[in-house]
Structure 1
Amino acid sequence: MRKFVRAALFPIIVVASAAGATQQQPGQEFGAFLTGQLVADGKISDYVSGSTRTMQVKIKGEARGATLSLVEEMAYSDGEKRKFVWKFTKENGEYIGQRPDLIGKAKVAQNGDRVDIAYRANVVLPNGREQALDFVETLTFRGPGAAKLEIKVSKFFIPVAGAALDVKKLASAQ
């Protein structure tokens, strides 16, 4: 089950790191926060097996007009590495996230310093089969260049995994 949850959590960080919305808190504007270099450190937990592992995510964001592209490189404490690329587009005043493994699009909504992100993704299991999982993420800005990310992963409304990370914009990118 650990491999199942590991696969389920791979798409999480990019979407959460790319959260945008219609309302912006001064000093924490969506595009400005994610443009440049960021790093996220934290841990993920598999509620089924009870296992936990740490991870670090390096994020590079580039804005061009109404499009924000993010490249994410993840390194887990067990040596596993992953890379993902996301595209966020501003449509009708809101940001919408796209990635090949999503079922539909990531929906992003901001209220003050809190950004909520919800989406469903196909997760490839170790046996090659795909499993649809639901993700609910909350990104809370904690001051200039910093945010806290909490993630909940479920299957049929049953929690299967969660993650907590601190996201920081690197000094050279602030």
Structure 2
Amino acid sequence: MSKLEPRRARPAASLLVAVFIVAGCAGPSVADYAAEQPTLDLARYLSGPLTAHGVFTDRSGKVVRRFTVAMTGTWTGNEGVLEEDFRYSDGSTQRRVWKLVKLQDGRYTGTADDVAGVAQGQAAGNAFNWKYTLKLPVDGRVVEVQFDDWMWLVDERVMLNKAVMSKFGIRLGEVTLAFSRQP
């Protein structure tokens, strides 16, 4: 064996370790929640009036914005409209109107004026994962950021929501919400 052969093995071993590290960083799949109860029927849950309370935290975990959202969802067949009216702790407001489509196998698509392209979502068990690009106004310009948005139905009234916001794969912060339906 020459002195070069052990050195060739090191890059291969390093590559193998890197592959395991990246695979270990992979997030959960919506299928991981398939057996969880109660089963989330997003169209059913997002029907009628809802309220949500939330926070936006930066990369360090510091709360930088608090807000409430008054929502109303209406559905005709497999097509829905979710009207969201945000009120932030600084007194500012924002409105987003989602146009949703319920597809087969727990899949959903959605569009809104401040969403680039089409949001894609998948439900299984008590969970829903929603991915989309949001056009976010920042200092007089619009920045596109990606959202990896997870929702979990706790019971018939409460759903929790955690969304990671990123740009170029770099985590910028998180949005955490608690949804509540009227009994």
- For the aligned pair, the TM-score class normalised by the smaller chain equals 0.7 to 0.9
Percent sequence identity over matched residues? 24
Query: C-alpha deviations, 1:39-79, integer Å up to 9, x for none?
Result: 11121113379552221111100011111101111111111
Q: Which residue of 1 aligns with 2:116?
A: 103
Could you say which structure has the higher helix fraction? 2
Return the structure number with greater relative CO, CA threshold 8 A, min gap 6.
1
Query: C-alpha deviations, 1:67-111, integer Å up to 9, x for none?
Result: 110111111111111111110012455210011222221110112
Q: What is the distance in 2 between the residues matched to 1:68 and 1:98?
A: 11
Aligned partner letter, 1:125: V
Number of residue pairs the alignment of both structures matches: 149
SS at match of 1:100: coil
Alignment gaps of 5+ in structure 1: 1-22
Q: What is the distance in 2 between the residues matched to 1:25 and 1:66?
A: 23
Q: What is the distance in 2 between the residues matched to 1:115 and 1:49?
A: 23
In our comparison, the structure showing a higher alpha carbon Rg is 2
The 5 A counterparts of 1:62-77 are 62-77=74-89
Q: Which residue of 2 aligns with 1:151?
A: 163
The 5 A counterparts of 1:1-174 are 28-47=40-59, 50-93=62-105, 94-127=107-140, 129-171=141-183
- Contact kept? 2:83, 2:97, Cα under 8 Å: yes
Q: What is the distance in 2 between the residues matched to 1:96 and 1:24?
A: 23
SS at match of 2:139: coil
- Contact kept? 1:48, 1:160, Cα under 8 Å: no
SS at match of 2:43: helix
- Contact kept? 1:139, 1:149, Cα under 8 Å: yes
Aligned partner letter, 2:71: I
Q: What is the distance in 1 between the residues matched to 2:38 and 2:62?
A: 39
Question: Structure 2-normalised TM-score?
Answer: 0.73
- Contact kept? 2:161, 2:177, Cα under 8 Å: yes
Deviation at residue 148 of structure 1 after TM alignment: 0.6
Q: What is the distance in 2 between the residues matched to 1:49 and 1:148?
A: 18
SS at match of 1:32: helix
Q: What is the distance in 2 between the residues matched to 1:80 and 1:161?
A: 20
Q: What is the distance in 1 between the residues matched to 2:123 and 2:61?
A: 33
Give the RMSD, CA atoms, in angstroms.
2.4
- Contact kept? 1:96, 1:105, Cα under 8 Å: yes
